[in-house]
Amino acid sequence: TVTDAVLGALNLPDIGQLFPDSDPKWKGARSDIFLKEAVRLMEERGYTLGNIDCTIIAQRPKLSPHKEAIRKNLCALLNAHDSVVNLKA
Protein backbone atom coordinates (compact mmCIF):
# COMPACT_ATOMS: atom_id res chain seq x y z
CA THR A 1 0.00 0.00 0.00
CA VAL A 2 2.81 2.42 0.85
CA THR A 3 4.55 1.52 -2.41
CA ASP A 4 1.38 2.24 -4.38
CA ALA A 5 0.94 5.54 -2.49
CA VAL A 6 4.43 6.66 -3.54
CA LEU A 7 3.90 5.49 -7.12
CA GLY A 8 0.49 7.17 -7.29
CA ALA A 9 1.90 10.47 -6.03
CA LEU A 10 4.42 10.28 -8.88
CA ASN A 11 1.64 9.58 -11.41
CA LEU A 12 3.23 6.22 -12.21
CA PRO A 13 1.52 2.87 -12.81
CA ASP A 14 0.62 0.74 -9.81
CA ILE A 15 2.79 -1.91 -8.21
CA GLY A 16 1.29 -4.74 -10.28
CA GLN A 17 2.06 -2.96 -13.54
CA LEU A 18 5.60 -1.87 -12.66
CA PHE A 19 6.58 -5.07 -10.89
CA PRO A 20 4.47 -7.89 -12.42
CA ASP A 21 4.82 -11.30 -10.83
CA SER A 22 4.97 -12.70 -14.36
CA ASP A 23 8.44 -11.12 -14.69
CA PRO A 24 11.00 -13.52 -13.21
CA LYS A 25 12.91 -10.51 -11.84
CA TRP A 26 10.03 -9.67 -9.48
CA LYS A 27 8.39 -13.04 -8.86
CA GLY A 28 8.53 -13.85 -5.15
CA ALA A 29 10.42 -10.65 -4.30
CA ARG A 30 10.10 -9.17 -0.81
CA SER A 31 7.88 -6.09 -0.47
CA ASP A 32 10.74 -3.91 0.74
CA ILE A 33 12.37 -4.32 -2.68
CA PHE A 34 9.32 -2.71 -4.32
CA LEU A 35 9.26 0.15 -1.82
CA LYS A 36 12.98 0.81 -2.25
CA GLU A 37 12.48 0.95 -6.02
CA ALA A 38 9.52 3.33 -5.65
CA VAL A 39 11.63 5.57 -3.41
CA ARG A 40 14.45 5.44 -5.96
CA LEU A 41 12.03 6.57 -8.67
CA MET A 42 10.74 9.32 -6.37
CA GLU A 43 14.23 10.62 -5.59
CA GLU A 44 15.30 10.29 -9.24
CA ARG A 45 12.50 12.73 -10.09
CA GLY A 46 13.65 15.16 -7.40
CA TYR A 47 10.88 14.53 -4.87
CA THR A 48 11.01 13.84 -1.16
CA LEU A 49 8.28 12.49 1.07
CA GLY A 50 6.18 15.21 2.70
CA ASN A 51 3.94 13.10 4.95
CA ILE A 52 2.50 9.63 5.01
CA ASP A 53 -0.18 8.21 7.29
CA CYS A 54 -0.44 4.42 7.23
CA THR A 55 -3.28 2.40 8.71
CA ILE A 56 -2.94 -1.36 9.13
CA ILE A 57 -6.23 -3.21 9.56
CA ALA A 58 -5.78 -6.66 11.03
CA GLN A 59 -7.12 -8.76 13.87
CA ARG A 60 -3.96 -10.79 14.27
CA PRO A 61 -1.20 -10.47 15.10
CA LYS A 62 -1.60 -7.71 17.65
CA LEU A 63 0.51 -4.87 16.33
CA SER A 64 0.61 -2.45 19.25
CA PRO A 65 3.87 -3.86 20.62
CA HIS A 66 5.46 -3.62 17.15
CA LYS A 67 4.09 -0.31 15.83
CA GLU A 68 7.16 1.77 16.65
CA ALA A 69 9.54 -0.76 15.10
CA ILE A 70 7.39 -0.92 11.96
CA ARG A 71 7.27 2.90 11.77
CA LYS A 72 11.05 3.17 12.16
CA ASN A 73 11.53 0.56 9.44
CA LEU A 74 9.22 2.52 7.14
CA CYS A 75 11.20 5.70 7.86
CA ALA A 76 14.40 3.93 6.86
CA LEU A 77 12.89 2.44 3.70
CA LEU A 78 11.38 5.80 2.71
CA ASN A 79 14.52 7.82 3.53
CA ALA A 80 12.18 9.96 5.60
CA HIS A 81 12.46 11.75 8.93
CA ASP A 82 10.37 10.07 11.62
CA SER A 83 8.27 13.23 12.02
CA VAL A 84 6.61 12.65 8.61
CA VAL A 85 5.70 8.96 8.95
CA ASN A 86 2.65 8.00 11.01
CA LEU A 87 1.39 4.48 11.65
CA LYS A 88 -1.92 3.35 13.09
CA ALA A 89 -3.14 -0.17 13.65
Q: What is the mean pLDDT of residues 74-85?
A: 96
Q: What is the mean pLDDT of residues 76-87?
A: 96
pLDDT at residue 2, as a whole number: 96
pLDDT at residue 73, as a whole number: 97
Contacts of 57 (CB under 8 A, 6+ apart): 89
Average pLDDT over the chain, rounded to an integer: 94
What's the distance, CA 84 to chain centroid? 13
Q: What is the mean pLDDT of residues 51-60?
A: 93
Per-residue pLDDT of 22-44, as tens digits, reads 999 888 899 999 999 999 999 99
Does residue 88 sit in helix, strand or coil?
A: strand
Q: What is the mean pLDDT of residues 47-61?
A: 93
Question: Sorting pLDDT into bands at 50, 70 and 90, what band is 78?
Answer: very high
Burial of 24 (0-12, 13-18, 19+ CB in 10 A): exposed
Does residue 3 sit in helix, strand or coil?
A: helix
d(CA 63, CA 71): 11
Question: Sorting pLDDT into bands at 50, 70 and 90, what band is 8?
Answer: very high
